[in-house]
Amino acid sequence: MKNGFIKAAAGTPKIQVADCIHNTEEILRIIKEMEAKGAKIMGFPELCITGYTCSDLFWQNILLDSAKERLLWLADETKEVDALITVGLPMESDGKLYNVAAVLNRGKILGLIPKTNLPNYAEYYEARQFTPADEDMSTVTLNGEEVPFGTRLLFSCTSMPELKAAVEICEDLWVPNPPSVAHALAGANVLINLSAGDEITGKDTYRRNLVNGQSARLVCAYLYATAGEGESSTDLVFGGHNLIAENGTILAEARRFINQTIYADIDVKRLSTERRKMTTYPSANKTGYQVIPFELTREETKLERNFPEKPFVPANKAEREKRCDEILTIQAMGLKKRLEHTHCKSAVLGISGGLDSTLALLVTARAFDYLEMDRKNIIAVTMPCFGTTDRTYKNACDLTNNLGATLREVDIKEAVTIHFRDIEHDADKHDVTYENCQARERTQVIMDIANQTGGMVIGTGDLSELALGWATYNGDHMSMYGVNASIPKTLVRHLVHYFADTCNDEKLSHILLDVLDTPVSPELLPPKDGKIAQKTEDLVGPYELHDFFLYYMLRAGYEPDKIFRIACKTFDGTYDSETILKWLKNFYRRFFMQQFKRSCLPDGPKVGTVAVSPRGDLRMPSDACARIWLNEIDKLGEGANGENRA
């Protein structure tokens, strides 16, 4: 439960129809398995104590009495189990029979939730035996105690205030206005569905989309536990297609037809953060709801959830290629509009033979194609200086010529040397002044060429550099339109690689692959033996770590402790905890210190959920203090002991 994580499980017992003794023993067996794996929220199928397919046997008093008796037995048997458990059974109330979900916690029956929507079409005949829930709240007496009975029950964890759960049953999800909508608006962020849907061809896809979509729409975790093998096969077959989704992502999915128990680490704290950020998400309105407290022991959840090393980059190849094409189009369409609006005759950019300028040139070429403008009006300027290597120079020239743009070369060594003289800087002193004089000279050159040609300067800096402030103020930091401003470095690589794979030009592909193979560098220091001497990641840290930190800080709202924890798990075997901690501290230090550069960024298109535009996603004061973030990181360093943490 540390950092807002809690383990949930959905299980399908292999039942015997109408044998409540066998079924509850099987349920208890699975509960013990779930408990051993650390599950704190446990979901079981609809009517699982009796079996869903009892049909007219539900009219038999002996079956109803047995179900009630075995519910009490199950509650007593789980009094030492530290979990919120939901099971299904038939229950009589005021002379009517209801299909209900019973919620158990530490031996107590906290509440009974009747099913609202009873399917009575096609293969379903539930209205033959059951009565739909009404809006009235009441109680049912079980073993001498009054148990809340109604649909508007909200279960709130006293030891983890972010966790609030509610329940609906099968068909309730499949109707136009599911009860889960009201539950979520009342504050529930974990929704549990007890289901018994049969399997027909193609239904699994619809079910998966339905569960996933509801979790996204309600910004919640949605646990779906459904009936499987053991139910009667007179006319139907049940697949045990259990699902756990969180805010539009399937965290766990059971293979059908094998009664598989699934587990997932739900991040309830992130769900609360997401709802808080969405100003259109209504404030919790508990009117008409009965809030029922329950307890769980607060302990650290052993994380089994996987976090992608590159959260900005889809792991699936087909999805990644689709995303890359979409992003390139968004970038190019943004630039197209700006060129049209300003009536520019040309686009000017510095071309270095590195990743960022390569991507910017590819995007500019696509925008010119959309405008049906001659690519010769793209002016790519190579500006060799003290750190330029033959490899990057050649790639810059070859790429420009291959794309049909105009190549201009302005050697800036003499201009920079004169500038050193003017400001009385020792040219042998390779400090930040030495580097930034070159960066600002390059920006002056392309700005002036843009004036000469009636054009606009296209910015090449990417999101990762902006987050770290790894840009020269009023140097490469500045442009007239920054096409890469919301593209993280890890994604830049994939965009260039996608272009190499799909351009159908062997020579262009070869150039792009060599650019990809070149170390990331601003090339502001003299090369050693003709090779790049200044490697960015040696100075600021690995971009794969920084992009990971950036995503979970800005997109997920994680605190440093939580980011460190998941980074140690994700990069175990690649970076040790001391290395992760070192670069995490550097990330936060630079992120806060360099906001002044982001506060005056040029326009540029947003392509994903994380961006740092001062006019959009990141309204942050330039002099915000990082103390509380850095203090937390220092505490992590005191307790890490050089070990990776899960």
355-371 and 390-403 are packed helices; what angle lies between their axes, rounded to 10 degrees?
10
Nearest-angstrom CA–CA distance, 80 and 441:
72
pLDDT in tens, 278-291: 999 999 999 999 99
At 534, the pLDDT band (50, 70, 90 cuts) reads: confident
CA distance readout (Å), 418 to 384, 437, 445, 525, 619:
16, 11, 15, 17, 40
Is residue 188 assigned to a domain?
A: yes
Last residue of a domain, one of 255, 279, 294: 294
Cα angle 93-95-97, degrees, rounded to a multiple of 5: 60
The helix (H) or strand (E) run that includes residue 334 is helix 317-342
Is residue 299 assigned to a domain?
A: no
Same domain assignment for residues 146 and 36: yes
Same domain assignment for residues 281 and 348: no
Last residue of a domain, one of 294, 309, 328: 294
Same domain assignment for residues 187 and 336: no
The domain tally of the chain equals: 2
Longest dimension (CA), the chain: 100
Q: Are 43 and 192 in contact (CB under 8 A)?
A: yes
- Stretch 290-316: mean pLDDT: 96
Nearest-angstrom CA–CA distance, 266 and 418:
61
Same domain assignment for residues 279 and 382: no
Catalytic positions, please?
Answer: 46, 115, 170
**pLDDT at residue 528, rounded to an integer:** 84
Whether the pLDDT of residue 536 is over 90: the answer is: no
Same domain assignment for residues 288 and 321: no
- CATH number for the domain including 563? 3.40.50.620
Half-sphere exposure of 312 (CA within 13 A, CB side): 31
Same domain assignment for residues 68 and 194: yes
Per cent of the chain over pLDDT 70 is 99
Displacement of CA 499 from its chain's centroid (Å): 25
Same domain assignment for residues 359 and 258: no
Same domain assignment for residues 18 and 122: yes
CA distance readout (Å), 267 to 1, 107, 220, 629:
9, 26, 10, 21
Same domain assignment for residues 229 and 363: no
pLDDT in tens, 326-357: 999 999 999 999 999 999 999 999 999 999 99
At 451, the pLDDT band (50, 70, 90 cuts) reads: very high
Q: How many CB atoms lie within 10 A of CB 90?
A: 21
Whether the pLDDT of residue 22 is over 80: the answer is: yes
- Amino acid 196 reads A
- CATH number for the domain including 155? 3.60.110.10
Same domain assignment for residues 566 and 615: yes
Range of the domain at 239: 2-294
CA distance readout (Å), 216 to 168, 245, 274:
17, 9, 11
At 640, the pLDDT band (50, 70, 90 cuts) reads: low
Same domain assignment for residues 212 and 322: no
**pLDDT at residue 645, rounded to an integer:** 41
Is residue 646 assigned to a domain?
A: no
pLDDT in tens, 54-91: 999 999 999 999 999 999 999 999 999 999 999 999 99
Same domain assignment for residues 276 and 333: no
- Stretch 242-254: mean pLDDT: 98
Nearest-angstrom CA–CA distance, 179 and 169:
9
Is residue 71 assigned to a domain?
A: yes
Antiparallel, parallel or unpaired: β 481-482 and 455-459: parallel
Is residue 306 assigned to a domain?
A: no
Whether the pLDDT of residue 643 is over 50: the answer is: no
Is residue 120 assigned to a domain?
A: yes
| Listed residue (408, 351, 342, 350) closest to 376, CA to CA | 408
At 521, the pLDDT band (50, 70, 90 cuts) reads: confident
Q: Is the dihedral of CA 300, 303, 308, 311 positive or negative?
A: negative
Is residue 355 assigned to a domain?
A: yes
φ and ψ of 588, to 5 deg:
-65, -40
Is residue 94 assigned to a domain?
A: yes
